[in-house]
A and B are shown apart, each in its own frame.
Chain A
Amino acid sequence: MLLSRFWYLLLAVAAIMGLSTALLARGMFNRGEVVHADEGLARDRFELELSMKLDARSRIDALAPIAADGTVREAVRGKGKDKVDGQDGSKALKDRLRTMNQQLEELRADILIAVDNQGVILAQEGKKPARAGSGLGKVPLVEQALSGFLGDDVWVYDGAVYRMAARPIVDRGQYVGAIVHGQKLDGNLAQRLSNRLQGATIAFFLRDQVVSSYVPTDVAAAPTQAELAPLLANALSDERLKKGERTEAADLGGKGRAVFSLIAGSASAAEVGYAIARPYPTMPSPWAIFDQATKEDIDALPKGELAGGLVLLFLIAMGIVYLERDRPLAAFQREVDKLAAGQTEELDLASLSKAYRKIGESIHKGILVLLEKGGGKSRQQKANLDQLLGPTPEPLTSSAFSFGGDEAVRSTPQPLAMPAPMPMPAPGPRAPSQNNLPPTGPKAPSQNNLPPARVAPPAPALKAPPPPARPSNGGGQGFAPVQTPAAVHHDAAIAELAEAPSEDEEHYREVFAQYLEVRKQCGESTAELSFEKFVVTLRKNRDQILATRPDTKDVRFTVYVKAGKAALKATPAKG
């Protein structure tokens, strides 16, 4: 299952990386949009200033025909007191201002004032008649116009904010007065500027109050006047604003940006200014990044490579599933099927993977428990070993043998301090003596002497497992179903040892001698060890290996030191 776990780890890492990438991309996208919006606002401000300047120039120029009009000049020269065209000069001047103002169309003034050379108001259009004698002579724009200069300004005038323009009235080579033009800083101007800036929200403010604004209707999520107003207090305290520059862009609740600037003219000292605001698109969630993809982006995807990668990953995953799940499961299924069909009395654990081997062991234990409960004799190997070897030294019972398959063969024993290098004889054909084993069927005398406890009671559900198959000696045939394989091996080994000294016995004696020597070197006791018990253990292990590995012809044992104690290792020799 290692591959599967590694694969799941890879998947988890890939998923986290994908999610992280999406989150990062979202942040980067939003940040990029903010930068983009700020740059746009900087351009907007530049363009708005240019528009306002051109607008001021247009109003100044629009005054030229009024300042040059004969009726206006004559009436102003006479300070409105002299008759003009046979009528009262003041009235003639007012009528003429009204008429000419109408002709200005888009540049029509909201207030249009004519003053004499002292700045005294003679007539004004768009406002009730001025108080007698009141004037504008010390207002810088008018004062300069009376001196021969044309110019513009912004006034806070009677509760409203006006864009002003003025130019002198010249008559008979003298400056006789000035004409003053004012347009309110209203929503119309804001709309005109918004259209010119293509979709920006424009608002004019007087201190912390928005006096007029325009929110484009064709722009989604365009910032509103209500959203801009709360930012005014901060903007007005901005040092850059006080210097006449624009503020840094301020955020509008995470969906828009705005810059503020004072307006050009004397009203700037009264904190009259404007705000330009734009929305910016935000990515509400990491998945919204896909909404940003265009058809071109999708077309540019390497679809073949992506599909190939998908198939490859799928195949790798399927391969891992086959290797680590399907195949071991099938092997386990086969073994279980054999067991169920009575073709074998125990599972071939060596052919199973680790997880299924454990399951198999548990099944074996379960079978034995059931047999015992049913009156049969269980094959408790540990008990048998103890019977044979007496108080079993720890290495013999726990680590003396390793039947894990090839790992045991590959493992390198720790070098011994003992002089004997323990060369193992090459596995050869089975000694003839092995064929002289006593019959292991029910007819064998030793088997007939089995205690009654080994006789299994009738068990309808479970059949006592037959003795393990041993191709070399044909053992197992004729076994009584009540006798366990371990018991059979045990008895057979003793009989074999007693009756037929063979090449194996020589090998066992050599191993026994080495084992005793190593135990002594390791400081372990050898008093309770007997060769007979030792041989029984070796043979039992040999038989188990031969039974579980059909391709194994013989088993050789070696002695080594493990954890400071003598231990034995079985090495299968393949035929």
Chain B
Amino acid sequence: MLGLAVCGAALMSAHALAVDIRGSVKAGDSKPKPTENVRPPYWHEWNGFIEPKKNSGNDFAREVAVVLIGDEAMEDAVSVAMQDGTLSPSTIVMQKGSSLRLRNDDDFTHQLYAQGLSQFDAVETSSGQARQLQVDQEGSFPVFDRLAPYVRGYLHVLPKISKVANPQSDGTFKFENVAPGNYTLKVFRGGSEVSSTTLEVADKRELVVDPISVEVNGK
């Protein structure tokens, strides 16, 4: 009887530590920014038969990173893919001293580097290969590809983070199994921190945060 009680208490306690946090980000349609320092090509014109297809607008999955900062430190390496000729995600948030893994899923070579971060210098990564590096310097760093200027991203290195999530294409995100306690929820888009709120995670099954605007500079 006592054993059943202990087991039940333990189960209840374990259940109390696993809180899911749900939320969403929102933004108006954004136009793709022209790549800097690029001389425009000669031709760019409509094919003349069918109306051009409209882009979906925001690519939250790639562009937005939601970070939960609490007592718990994240130990996993952050993984980034070079895919379809871009970075996925392109907004990268990681904890100082942790590892960053860059995997080339494209059919051509990339040569990524972070401007201002000596540990992340330009090294070729062939198709199908991966590169891993440890980052010990805090700050925000733009990421470029020396071979493909349209590949761009941002790396944010924070002193401590607990969890990182990238929204779905519809803007929703979810942190699973979060221990109750006080947290700071930060949202990054590109090179900017667009939101920072404190969360008190209570001992309940799920916490839903209000939608977070990820407009950069009000846009």
Contacts and interface: CB of A to CB of B under 8 A. Distances in A.
Interface of A: 52-53, 56-57, 60, 119, 121, 130-131, 133-142, 144, 146-159, 165, 167-168, 170, 173-175, 242, 244, 262-270
Given A135-B84, A148-B52, A159-B109, A270 B44 contact: no
Contacts of A137: 84-85
What are the 3 tightest A-B residue pairs by CB atom distance, in nearest-first order?
Answer: A269-B149, A139-B85, A138-B86
Contacts of A146: 53
Interface in B162-214: none
Nearest to A164: B41
Contacts of A168: 47
Given A147-B53, A242-B37, A266-B38, A133 B86 contact: no
B50 A149 contact: no
B51 A148 contact: yes
A140 B84 contact: no
Contacts of A130: 107
Given A150-B47, A159-B109, A269-B149, A264 B41 contact: yes
B55 A174 contact: no
B9 interface: no
A241 to B, nearest CB: 10
Contact of B35 (A52, A150, A266): A266
B40 interface: yes
Contacts of A270: 146-149
A175 B47 CA distance: 11
Q: Is the interface of B mostly helix, strand, loop or mixed?
A: loop
Interface string B32-51: 10011111111111110111
Nearest to A261: B39
B43 A151 contact: yes
A99 to B, nearest CB: 23
Interface residues of B, number: 37
A142 B47 CA distance: 13
B128 to A, nearest CB: 6
Contacts of B47: 148-150, 167-168, 170
Given A134-B83, A134-B84, A165-B43, 4 more contacts: A134-B127, A157-B108, A265-B40, A266-B38
28 contacts: A60-B43, A119-B84, A131-B106, A131-B107, A133-B105, A134-B105, A136-B84, A137-B84, A138-B83, A138-B84, A139-B150, A141-B41, A147-B53, A148-B47, A149-B46, A150-B43, A150-B45, A155-B148, A156-B147, A158-B108, A158-B127, A159-B109, A174-B50, A264-B42, A266-B35, A269-B35, A270-B146, A270-B149
B150 A140 contact: yes
A72 to B, nearest CB: 15
Interface string B140-166: 000000111110000000000000000
Contacts of B105: 131, 133-134
Nearest to A168: B47
Given A131-B107, A148-B51, A266 B41 contact: yes
A270 B147 CA distance: 6
B43 A268 contact: no
A266 B44 contact: no
A134 B42 contact: no
Best-buried of A137, A138, A174, A267 by chain B (most CB within 10 Å): A138
Contacts of A140: 32, 35, 150
Nearest to B51: A148
Contacts of B146: 270
Interface in B50-78: 50-55
Contacts of B148: 139, 155-156, 266, 270
A140 B19 CA distance: 41
B153 to A, nearest CB: 12
Contacts of A56: 41-43
Contact of B41 (A138, A139, A154, A269): A154
A151 B39 CA distance: 14
Interface in B92-149: 105-109, 127-128, 146-149
A95 B11 CA distance: 62
Contacts of B85: 119, 135-139, 142
A157 B109 CA distance: 7
A151 B149 contact: no
Given A56-B43, A158-B108, A266 B149 contact: yes
Nearest to B44: A151
Given A136-B84, A262-B39, A131 B53 contact: no
A264 B39 contact: yes
A139 B148 CA distance: 9
A264 B84 contact: no
Best-buried of B49, B86, B105, B149 by chain A (most CB within 10 Å): B149
